[in-house]
Structure 1
Amino acid sequence: MQISFYQKLILWASLLAILLVGLGAYVRLSDAGLGCPDWPGCYGTLTVPQSEHAIADANQAYPDRPVEHGKAWKEMAHRYVAGVLGLLILLIFVKSWRLRQYIHVSPWLPSFLMLWVVFQAMLGMWTVTMLLMPAIVTMHLIGGMTTLGLLVWISHRHNGEFYVLSNQYAWLRRAIRFGLLLIAAQIILGGWTSTNYAGLACTDFPLCHGAWMPAGMDFTTGFDVARELGKTASGENMALSAYTAIQWTHRVGALLVFVYFALLAWHLKAISGLQRDAWRITILLVLQISLGIANLVLHLPVVLAVAHNVGAALLLTQMVILNSRTTRKQRG
Structure 2
Amino acid sequence: MSHHDLRLGLLIRLSQLGIAFTVAVILMGAFTRLMDAGLGCPDWPGCYGQWVVPEPGVAESHPSAVPLEPLKAWLEMVHRYLASMLGGLVLMMLALGWSRRKRPGYPWHITLCLLAVILLQGAFGAFTVTLRLWPQVVTLHLLGGLVVMLLFLWLHLRLRVTAVSANPANRALPKLSHWWAIAALLLAAQLALGGWTSSNYAGIACQGFPTCNGQWWPTMDWSEGFHLTQRVGPDYLYGQLHADARTTIHLAHRLGALALGLSLTLLAARHWREPRLRPWMGAMLAAYGLQVGLGIANVVWWLPLGLALAHTAGAVLLALTMALAAWQAKVGALPVGLPKAQAQEQGAGECAITS
- Structure 1 unmatched runs, 5+: 162-169
Superposition map of 1:316-331 within 5 A: 316-328=319-331, 329-330=352-353
In the alignment, is the contact (CA less than 8 A) between 1:176 and 1:319 conserved in 2? no
Name the CA distance, whole Å, in 1 between partners of 2:104 and 2:83: 25
Measured on the aligned residues, the alpha-carbon RMSD in Å equals 2.3
CA-to-partner distance for each residue in 1:139-176, whole Å, 9 max, x for gaps? 11111111111111111223379xxxxxxxx8973322
Name the CA distance, whole Å, in 2 between partners of 1:63 and 1:218: 35
TM-score computed with the length of structure 2 as normaliser: 0.83
Moved more, 251-260 or 176-185: 176-185
Question: Relative to 1, partners in 2 of residues 1:188 and 1:330: Cα closer, same or farther, differing over 3 Å?
Answer: same
Question: Relative to 1, partners in 2 of residues 1:105 and 1:202: Cα closer, same or farther, differing over 3 Å?
Answer: farther
Q: Which residue of 1 aligns with 2:23?
A: 18
In the alignment, is the contact (CA less than 8 A) between 2:49 and 2:62 conserved in 1? no
Q: Does 1:79 align with 2:84?
A: no
CA-to-partner distance for each residue in 1:92-145, whole Å, 9 max, x for gaps? 223333222557454122112211211110110010011100111111111111
Name the CA distance, whole Å, in 2 between partners of 1:119 and 1:297: 36
Q: Does 1:189 align with 2:190?
A: no
TM-score computed with the length of structure 1 as normaliser: 0.89
- Structure 2 unmatched runs, 5+: 1-5, 163-173, 332-351
Q: Does 1:283 align with 2:286?
A: yes
Report the structure number with the largest CA radius of gyration: 2
In the alignment, is the contact (CA less than 8 A) between 1:145 and 1:313 conserved in 2? yes
Superposition map of 1:1-332 within 5 A: 1-49=6-54, 54-62=55-63, 64-102=65-103, 104-159=105-160, 173-215=177-219, 217-229=220-232, 237-328=240-331, 329-330=352-353
Q: Indicate the SS of the match to 2:140.
A: helix
In the alignment, is the contact (CA less than 8 A) between 2:277 and 2:329 conserved in 1? no
Name the CA distance, whole Å, in 1 between partners of 2:38 and 2:104: 38
Name the CA distance, whole Å, in 1 between partners of 2:207 and 2:265: 25
Question: Relative to 1, partners in 2 of residues 1:225 and 1:102: Cα closer, same or farther, differing over 3 Å?
Answer: same
Name the CA distance, whole Å, in 1 between partners of 2:262 and 2:233: 32
Question: Relative to 1, partners in 2 of residues 1:104 and 1:299: Cα closer, same or farther, differing over 3 Å?
Answer: farther
CA-to-partner distance for each residue in 1:186-210, whole Å, 9 max, x for gaps? 0001000000011111111111122
Question: Relative to 1, partners in 2 of residues 1:249 and 1:18: Cα closer, same or farther, differing over 3 Å?
Answer: same
Give how far 1:66 is off. 1.1
Give how far 1:237 is off. 4.8
Question: Relative to 1, partners in 2 of residues 1:237 and 1:133: Cα closer, same or farther, differing over 3 Å?
Answer: closer
Q: Indicate the SS of the match to 2:41.
A: coil
Aligned identity (percent) is: 37
CA-to-partner distance for each residue in 1:46-96, whole Å, 9 max, x for gaps? 1111xxxx3212122156421111111111111111011111111222333
Runs (4 or more) in structure 1 with deviation over 3 Å come to 101-106, 170-173, 228-231
Name the CA distance, whole Å, in 2 between partners of 1:85 and 1:63: 29
Q: Indicate the SS of the match to 2:203.
A: coil
CA-to-partner distance for each residue in 1:250-308, whole Å, 9 max, x for gaps? 00001111122123223333111112201211221111000000000010011111111
Matched AA of 1:253: G
In the alignment, is the contact (CA less than 8 A) between 1:90 and 1:114 conserved in 2? yes
Q: Aligned residues, how many?
A: 316
Name the CA distance, whole Å, in 1 between partners of 2:233 and 2:321: 34
Question: Relative to 1, partners in 2 of residues 1:324 and 1:94: Cα closer, same or farther, differing over 3 Å?
Answer: farther
Q: Indicate the SS of the match to 1:14.
A: helix
Question: Relative to 1, partners in 2 of residues 1:154 and 1:12: Cα closer, same or farther, differing over 3 Å?
Answer: same
Name the CA distance, whole Å, in 2 between partners of 1:109 and 1:66: 43
Give how far 1:229 is off. 4.4
Give how far 1:213 is off. 1.6
Name the CA distance, whole Å, in 2 between partners of 1:134 and 1:185: 16
Matched AA of 2:319: L
Name the CA distance, whole Å, in 2 between partners of 1:160 and 1:321: 14
In the alignment, is the contact (CA less than 8 A) between 2:200 and 2:240 conserved in 1? no
